[in-house]
């Protein structure tokens, strides 16, 4: 009997172009979902506060049925979409109790305002949603035009409709078969993330931080000032809000595109990659560095690199960040420079008299922690910054990553 092929879940996001009537239907369904979410949250909250009764997921599912049968035009809401809404309420409570049990900050579920509920889902492809030619047919909405900017892969399992910065998107979650891994290169690398240089490798290569948010701040401030001057509730204010949202979305897309290209570059050149297991949530509490850390998007880089490595058959290790900068990376040297500060970009070990670049030294120590002893491929192409709009590579290898 042949071994079943491994599959991975991948999300493909496409822009929707609804007609005016379809957009009214989309907004109506979104509003129905928001109302149902608030009703289910109120049922659980006040049921416990006033009657001491624990409201279960089954109770809120019955509430969803009554909501669709009773409220005007709520029958335009698909039954499984309503189930997914009350499931979100249940998940919010489960996460709240999990955090409290772990001794973390509570984060009690909140009611959703008009602009705070921007997605709904069809949790089973074929029920309420299906492809009809080149269009996406949605229950209660119709056949919506889609911009298929990339080929769809695998078997569709779930569809989420997202409203973002005035545009509609379809996020299709698909089961994609795990293909053959990329050919071996014989190279391993340690990677240190930073602020001045986004990444520094154990081979001494550096990629400058593009600082997309700081670059866009001047335009963003201009748009935010115009928003602050606009009269609340006016048409001009709604347009000003949309302009701020579009600017923020543009920065996020620039950052994600840069990190995707950088991750592909690293994975194609190395068989194994070692990084620090950083606690970014604690690091951003430093108000002097928080903006630069968040603009660097270390967590996003980690997530992108991890899932691309899984698809390509590469190995990724996350090691403790303690003393990686302070310890001398020279073999057999055990000196630790405890006097090192953030202002010191280079330092000389007083025992082995080797001068270290602090970031390269950290990357080498990160690699040493893994214990990988693999020869570096001397024929590997040098690491290049992906900024500059490189041409998209086609073929199975590029599609897999």
Mean pLDDT across 94-102 = 92
Q: Supply the angle between the helices 79-101 and 57-70 in degrees, to the nearest 10.
A: 150
76 and 21 assigned to the same domain: yes
117 and 139 assigned to the same domain: yes
Read off the tokens for 76: 């335009």
Mean pLDDT across 183-190 = 91
Band of pLDDT at residue 28, cut at 50, 70 and 90: very high
pLDDT for the residue 268:
94
Residue with tokens 């493909």: 12
Give Cα 19 to chain centroid, integer Å. Answer: 29
Band of pLDDT at residue 400, cut at 50, 70 and 90: very low
Residues catalogued as catalytic: 192, 276, 359
- The answer to whether position 220 is within a domain reads no
Range of the domain at 282: 188-211+253-382
Question: Under a CB-based contact definition with an 8 Å cutoff, are residues 317 and 370 in contact?
Answer: yes
pTM to 2 decimal places: 0.85
284 and 338 assigned to the same domain: yes
pLDDT for the residue 73:
84
Average pLDDT, the chain: 89
Band of pLDDT at residue 296, cut at 50, 70 and 90: very high
16 and 123 assigned to the same domain: yes
- The answer to whether position 316 is within a domain reads yes
Mean pLDDT across 222-251 = 95
Mean pLDDT across 300-323 = 92
- Can you say whether the dihedral through the CA atoms of 292, 296, 297, 299 is positive or negative? negative
pLDDT for the residue 378:
37
Q: Structural domain tally of the chain?
A: 2
Q: What is the pLDDT of residues 42-62, one digit of tens each?
A: 999 999 888 888 999 999 999
- The answer to whether position 182 is within a domain reads no
Phi, psi (degrees; rounded to nearest 5) at 245: -60, -40
Q: What is the pLDDT of residues 368-394, one digit of tens each?
A: 988 875 444 434 445 655 654 434 343
């Amino acid at each position: 009997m042949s071994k079943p092929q491994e599959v991975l879940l991948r999300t493909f996001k496409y822009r929707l172009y609804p007609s005016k009537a379809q957009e009214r239907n989309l907004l109506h369904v979104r509003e129905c979902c928001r109302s149902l979410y608030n009703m289910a949250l109120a049922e659980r909250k006040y049921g416990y506060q006033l009657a001491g009764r624990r409201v279960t997921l089954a109770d809120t599912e019955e509430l969803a049925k009554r909501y669709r049968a009773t409220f005007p035009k709520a029958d335009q809401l698909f039954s499984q979409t309503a189930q997914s809404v009350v499931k979100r309420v249940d998940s919010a409570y489960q996460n709240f109790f999990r955090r409290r049990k772990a001794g973390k900050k509570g984060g009690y579920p909140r009611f959703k305002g008009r602009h705070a509920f921007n997605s709904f889902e069809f949790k089973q492809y074929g029920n309420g949603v299906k492809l009809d030619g080149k269009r996406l047919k949605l229950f209660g909405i119709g056949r919506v035009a889609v911009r298929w900017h990339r080929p769809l892969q695998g078997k569709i399992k779930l569809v989420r409709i997202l409203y973002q910065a005035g545009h509609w998107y379809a996020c299709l979650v698909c089961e994609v078969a795990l293909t053959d891994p990329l050919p071996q290169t014989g190279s391993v690398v340690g990677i240190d993330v930073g602020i001045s240089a986004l990444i520094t490798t154990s081979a001494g290569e550096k990629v400058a931080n593009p600082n997309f948010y700081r670059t866009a701040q001047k335009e963003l401030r201009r748009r935010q000032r115009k928003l602050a001057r606009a009269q609340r509730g006016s048409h001009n204010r709604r347009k000003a809000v949309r302009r701020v949202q579009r600017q923020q979305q543009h920065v996020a897309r620039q950052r994600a595109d840069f990190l995707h290209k950088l991750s592909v570059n690293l994975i194609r050149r190395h068989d194994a990659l070692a990084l620090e297991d950083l606690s970014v949530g604690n690091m951003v509490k430093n108000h002097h560095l928080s903006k630069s850390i968040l603009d660097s998007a270390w967590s996003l880089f980690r997530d992108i690199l991890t899932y691309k490595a899984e698809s390509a058959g590469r190995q990724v290790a996350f090691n403790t960040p303690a003393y990686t900068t302070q310890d001398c990376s020279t073999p057999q040297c055990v000196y630790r420079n405890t006097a090192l500060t953030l202002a010191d970009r280079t330092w000389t070990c007083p025992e082995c008299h080797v001068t270290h670049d602090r970031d390269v030294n950290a990357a080498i120590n990160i690699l040493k922690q893994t214990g990988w002893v693999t020869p570096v491929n001397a024929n590997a192409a040098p690491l290049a910054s992906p900024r500059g709009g490189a041409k998209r590579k086609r073929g199975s290898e590029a599609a897999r990553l």
